[in-house]
């Protein structure tokens, strides 16, 4: 029976030194029918291993309600079939620019800052979750015929906490539930991160984007023995709504990769292939320096990450530079690069045929409608991804006074007596025009993604304070939530009618007829902000704030002939004749050049709408305005 172990200086396969050349590819960001192609691309780039996180909130949306956990097992089987080893990073927290860092909303709503500590209630939830999750990992370990060679204990814990009792408990739990392959931790190459996040007797690895020698020197001060590994080599970066699209020069990234390997270290490319934040699962960051206490910076739907394999699975310039570097460390000739996935034959416009106002959608698909003394949070209403309608009555008669929302998270579209009155944000939480009583005020608050990194991970969504008219709180608020997964069962019960005049918000229904179904891009010029489904598959959020102006449509989602389309517009749609459409290449907007990124932060730009059309992807770079120099 073969054995993978950690030696004094190297990883060992049956006692023989081996180097891990790994790449991050998250199964939950890639359509399952495309896993084989993407894994083949990793092999062709020169990698011998794939790494994936596991998002707890995706698989346990409510306590004890496990969904599609088997997907991880199928992915690990696909990795084995592709000839790759696998590294699994099960969390419980994963960061990953994913909603709430992978922690379920109900967990952080219940426990707040007690998560990721030795708190007994938190540990009980983790033990239940791992009891289910590890059934997909343990039988697929190396030595049992599977590909799994290492499992992570927590994730970048030294960037967050210092509870060594918790970390040791977690490592012991993994062992007790059958994990026999080497365990490891990963943290930034800084003293406080390594002391807070590593555990004696468990392999420590480092995460960085450049300066490998300096990073490994820091790691060696803490761990004089054991193989060196950069568990996250940040070869690209992610984007925020309203900011520039970030790229990293391909030659610069290749030089940084070469430096890691010249140090005798193993590496995991983060990301080798980024994929897509389908179904509104994109997370958010906070600006504001080390404490991350500044404005919310929601992540875009695309997780292209300027990775060597782009969002559509195509080899980029960075791929070829990396392949050249990695070939020198391969055991033999590299496999041929797999053919590019099929693409849509021809452009096609979406024909919108029906519409339902937001109120009707909420009445049909929403949660309980109840009056609360103060505005409840999303967590209290059991809303993970989606929106909440808060309704207040302003008593009268009274003078016109300012209306202010305290503790607003994300943004709110406001209506006064049924008339649109503005959009409020955390930083601009007062209506421009005063409100005269009596009046009925509605606030439609949308979650733009929970914070996935830093001290404010797990903060509540919605209205965390209250609504003030002048200095007086308005009490007795009616609230009703609409979860995105409420659309999973379909929209047949929604009372659709004719298309509205003037592009009102609401749920639009239509069809797009295609020939030669394959990968495509959906563009929505003139639409403001919302979500799109094709044949019931949620492509994710669109937003005119940019930099992303098109959504990736995986080929397996489309079928030959007619395809059903739903567009949930939350603010302002264009005139009915401006339909969404599939287009040639993903538009990610103006570019910000990135090189040696070493901290989790990014930068603002707006997109200009163009004619809507559904097109086949081109062979050009999918990054609009990308500068690789």
Catalytic residue numbers read: 156, 232
Max Cα distance, the chain (Å):
84
The SS3 assignment for 123 reads helix
100 neighbors 108 (Cβ within 8 angstroms): yes
Kind of pairing between the strands at 348-349 and 296-298: unpaired
Alpha helix positions (H), 198-331: 212-222, 250-262, 317-327
Burial grade of 598 (CB within 10 A; 0-12, 13-18, 19 or more): middle
Q: Which of 502, 547, 512, 514 is nearest to 532 (CA)?
A: 512
The tokens describing 482, both together, are: 């609409």
Could you give the count of Cα atoms lying within 13 Å of 35 in the half-sphere of its Cβ?
21
- Is the N-terminal amide bond of 588 cis, ω within 30° of 0? no
Q: Which of 427, 11, 494, 492 is nearest to 228 (CA)?
A: 11
What one-character DSSP code corresponds to residue 226? S
The SS3 assignment for 20 reads coil
What one-character DSSP code corresponds to residue 194? H
The arrangement of strands across the sheet holding 419-425 comes to 370-372, 477-483, 386-394, 439-446, 411-416, 419-425
Task: Please give the torsion angle defined by the CA atoms of residues 429, 432, 435 and 439, in that order, rounded to the nearest 10 degrees.
Answer: -70
Q: Which of 162, 101, 91 is nearest to 129 (CA)?
A: 91
Q: Which of 559, 123, 37, 40 is nearest to 335 (CA)?
A: 40
The arrangement of strands across the sheet holding 11-13 comes to 4-6, 11-13, 16-18
Q: Which residues pair with 581 in a beta bridge?
A: 349, 523
Phi, psi dihedrals of residue 85, rounded to the nearest 5°:
-75, 170
Q: Is the dihedral of CA 256, 260, 262, 266 positive or negative?
A: negative
The SS3 assignment for 229 reads strand
Residue for token pair 């990396």: 322
Triad 42, 44, 47: Cα angle to 5°: 50
- Residue 251: alpha-carbon gap to chain centroid: 27
Q: Which residues pair with 537 in a beta bridge?
A: 534
Residue for token pair 């990883």: 11
Rounded CA separation 203/210 (Å): 21
117-156: string of b/e by CB count within 10 Å (b at 16+)?
Answer: eebeebbebbeebbeebbbbbbebbbeeebbbbbbbbbbb
380 neighbors 395 (Cβ within 8 angstroms): no
Give every CB contact of residue 292 below 8 A, 6+ residues apart in sequence: 285, 286, 451, 453, 454, 455, 456
């Amino acid at each position: 029976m073969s054995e993978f172990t950690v030696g004094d200086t190297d990883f060992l396969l049956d006692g023989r030194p081996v180097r891990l050349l790994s790449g991050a590819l998250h199964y939950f960001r890639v359509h399952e029918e495309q896993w084989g192609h993407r894994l083949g691309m990793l092999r062709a780039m020169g990698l011998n291993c794939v790494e994936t996180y596991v998002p707890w909130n995706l698989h346990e949306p409510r306590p004890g309600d496990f969904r599609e956990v088997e997907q991880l097992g199928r992915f690990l089987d696909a990795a084995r079939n592709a000839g790759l080893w696998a590294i699994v990073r099960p969390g419980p927290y994963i960061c990953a620019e994913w909603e709430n860092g992978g922690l379920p909303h109900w967990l952080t709503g219940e426990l707040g800052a007690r998560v990721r500590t030795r708190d007994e209630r938190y540990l009980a939830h983790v033990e239940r979750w791992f009891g289910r999750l590890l059934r997909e990992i343990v039988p697929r370990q190396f030595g049992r015929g599977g590909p799994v060679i290492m499992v992570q204990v927590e994730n970048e814990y030294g960037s967050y906490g210092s509870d060594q009792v918790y970390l040791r408990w977690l490592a012991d739990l993994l062992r007790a539930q059958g994990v026999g392959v080497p365990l490891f931790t990963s943290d930034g190459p800084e003293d406080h991160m390594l002391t807070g996040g590593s555990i004696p007797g468990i392999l420590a690895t480092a995460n960085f984007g450049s300066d490998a020698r300096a990073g490994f020197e820091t790691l060696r001060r803490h761990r004089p023995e054991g193989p060196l590994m950069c568990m996250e080599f940040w070869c690209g970066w992610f984007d925020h709504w309203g900011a520039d699209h970030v790229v990293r020069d391909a030659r610069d990234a290749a030089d940084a990769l070469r430096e890691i390997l010249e140090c005798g270290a193993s590496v995991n490319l983060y990301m080798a292939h980024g994929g897509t934040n389908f179904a509104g699962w994109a997370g958010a960051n906070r600006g504001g320096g080390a404490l991350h206490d500044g404005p919310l910076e929601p992540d875009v739907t695309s997780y292209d990450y300027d990775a060597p394999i782009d969002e559509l699975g195509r080899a980029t310039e960075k791929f070829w530079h990396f392949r050249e570097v990695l070939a020198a460390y391969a055991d033999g000739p590299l496999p041929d690069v797999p053919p590019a996935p099929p693409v849509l034959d021809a452009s096609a416009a979406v024909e919108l045929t029906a519409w339902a106002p937001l109120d009707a959608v909420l009445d049909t698909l929403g949660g309980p409608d109840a009056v609360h003394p103060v505005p409840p949070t999303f967590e209290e209403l059991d809303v993970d991804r989606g929106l909440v309608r808060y309704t207040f009555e302003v008593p009268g008669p009274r003078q016109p006074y300012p209306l202010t929302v305290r503790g607003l998270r994300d943004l709110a579209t406001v209506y006064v007596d049924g008339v649109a009155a503005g959009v409020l944000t955390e930083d601009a939480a007062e209506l421009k025009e005063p409100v005269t009583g009596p009046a009925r005020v509605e606030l439609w608050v949308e979650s733009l993604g929970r914070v996935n990194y830093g001290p404010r991970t797990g903060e509540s969504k919605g209205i965390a304070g209250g609504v003030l008219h002048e200095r007086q709180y308005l009490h007795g608020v009616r609230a009703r939530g609409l979860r995105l997964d409420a659309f999973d069962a379909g929209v047949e019960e929604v009372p659709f009618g004719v298309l509205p005049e003037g592009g009102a918000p609401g749920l639009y229904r239509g069809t797009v007829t295609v020939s030669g179904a394959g990968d495509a891009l959906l563009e929505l010029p003139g639409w403001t902000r919302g979500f799109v489904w094709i044949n019931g598959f949620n492509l994710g959020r669109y937003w005119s704030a940019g930099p992303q102006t098109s959504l990736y449509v995986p080929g397996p989602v489309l079928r030959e002939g007619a395809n059903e389309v739903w567009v949930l517009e939350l603010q302002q749609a264009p005139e009915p004749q401006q339909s969404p459409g599939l287009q040639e290449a993903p538009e990610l907007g103006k570019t910000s050049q990135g090189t040696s990124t070493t901290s989790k932060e990014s930068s603002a730009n707006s997109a200009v709408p163009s004619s809507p059309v559904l097109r086949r992807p081109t062979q050009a770079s999918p990054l609009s305005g990308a500068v690789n120099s």
